[in-house]
Amino acid sequence: MENNVKTMMLGTGVAIPPKTLTNQDLEKIVDTSDEWIRERTGMQVRHIVDDETQNSDLSAQAAKQALKDADMDAEEIDTLIVATVTGDVTFPATACYVQDKIGAVNAAAFDIQAACSGFLFGLSIADGFVGTGKSKNVLVIGCELLTRIVDWKDRSTCVLFGDAAGAAVLGPANGDGRGILGTFMKTDGRLAHLLCMPGGGTRYPAQVAISENLNTLKMRGPEVFRAAVTAMGDAAAHILETAGLTVDDVDLLIPHQANKRIIDATVRRMKIPPEKVYINVHEYGNTSSASIPVALNEAKEKGLLKPGDVCVMVAFGGGFTWGSVAVRM
């Protein structure tokens, strides 16, 4: 299987806004409690951007750190992908602003939208591009400023989200077996209405959206929860099969950090020992497409992922989208 490895992860980076929002802070904004949030989600604190910071700022910060980690100059990147549902503007792509901010002058830059699965969809695209020789060095960024689009009057959603960015640089594998072992992506658009921001596009342009309160994130939580548990299990099973791995081969599982209960259910379904599962949802909340690259970078920094270790990442998000990637570090 490892002879098929075409794409290697060369570096990772993150950007975390310094300002925090605790459960106690949220108690002052909506009718909620620290106890309810901890029990239902596992969350304690999230990081939120100040009014001046844009998605492309956080993305650029994470990108620079990933480039440094990869010991690479921005000019060496030929493909720049930003996975986000909270871009700077409707168009052009946030990736264009990031390209300018980091000086990736030789890159084709574009955004992809797969909500919380965005970073893994980006890795999958990067693997395809590098594997076919279409690209050499690809920068994949997952960045969200979800606190800008939540409804601060809706306690069932506003307590869940935080802001962050994470990035990875990918390039050709060097033949030692390290790199992307497999990828899996899936979508079910019949369930798109369960988690979305309806306003601001062409269906409900900005002015209509504001007057009808459609310019904020809408989620039918319990339905999303049920679908997430099934989809995460599905994504985990597929990636083990695709990459020719067993649970015993996995050194670290990084699930999308949406809710501790969804993670626990995925862990039970996979029958993976809990000590092999990385969880930081208590520190960041749900940062959507940033959640996996932030966790990945953190796990590396803590020494939980050493060269040669197998890491499996599994995500689920609006769309619905779900997917998984296995990588030998």
Q: What is the binding site for ligand ACO (CB under 6 A)?
A: 32, 36-37, 40-41, 115-116, 155-156, 159, 195, 221-222, 224-225, 228, 258-259, 262, 286, 288, 317-318
Which CB, 177 or 221, lies closer to ligand ACO? 221
Which CB, 11 or 142, lies closer to ligand ACO? 142
CB atoms within 10 A of CB 2: 14
- DSSP class of residue 161 equals B
Q: What share of the chain is helix, strand, coil (3-state, %, to 5)?
A: 40, 25, 35
- Determine contact, residues 177/328, Cβ cutoff 8 Å: yes
Query: Which uninterrupted H or E stretch holds 235?
Result: helix 221-243
- Say which of 55, 256, 297, 311 is annotated catalytic: 256
23 is catalytic: no
Q: Following DSSP, what letter does each residue of 20-74 receive, concatenated? A: EEEHHHHHTTSS--HHHHHHHH---EEE---TT--HHHHHHHHHHHHHHHTT--G
Q: How far is the CB of 145 from ligand ACO (least distance, A)?
A: 12
Which CB, 99 or 288, lies closer to ligand ACO? 288
Phi, psi values for residue 318, rounded to 5°: -55, 150
Angle at Cα 163 formed by Cα 128 and Cα 15, nearest 5°? 65
Q: How far is the CB of 127 from ligand ACO (least distance, A)?
A: 22
Which CB, 222 or 273, lies closer to ligand ACO? 222
Q: How far is the CB of 237 from ligand ACO (least distance, A)?
A: 19
Token pair of 320, please?
């619905």
- Which of 91, 124, 86 lies closest to 321, judged by CA? 124
Amino acid identity of residue 224, one-letter, is V
286 is catalytic: yes
Which CB, 67 or 195, lies closer to ligand ACO? 195
Q: How far is the CB of 77 from ligand ACO (least distance, A)?
A: 27
Q: How far is the CB of 160 from ligand ACO (least distance, A)?
A: 6
CA distance 62 to 168: 9
Q: How far is the CB of 119 from ligand ACO (least distance, A)?
A: 12
- Say which of 259, 286, 297, 311 is annotated catalytic: 286
- Say which of 116, 143, 196, 311 is annotated catalytic: 116
CA distance 194 to 183: 26
- Determine contact, residues 283/307, Cβ cutoff 8 Å: no
- Which of 15, 19, 7 lies closest to 56, judged by CA? 15
Which CB, 198 or 221, lies closer to ligand ACO? 221
311 is catalytic: no
Q: How far is the CB of 323 from ligand ACO (least distance, A)?
A: 12
- Which of 298, 257, 248, 296 lies closest to 276, judged by CA? 248
- DSSP class of residue 192 equals G
Which CB, 194 or 272, lies closer to ligand ACO? 194
Q: Which sequence positions are flagged as catalytic? A: 116, 256, 286
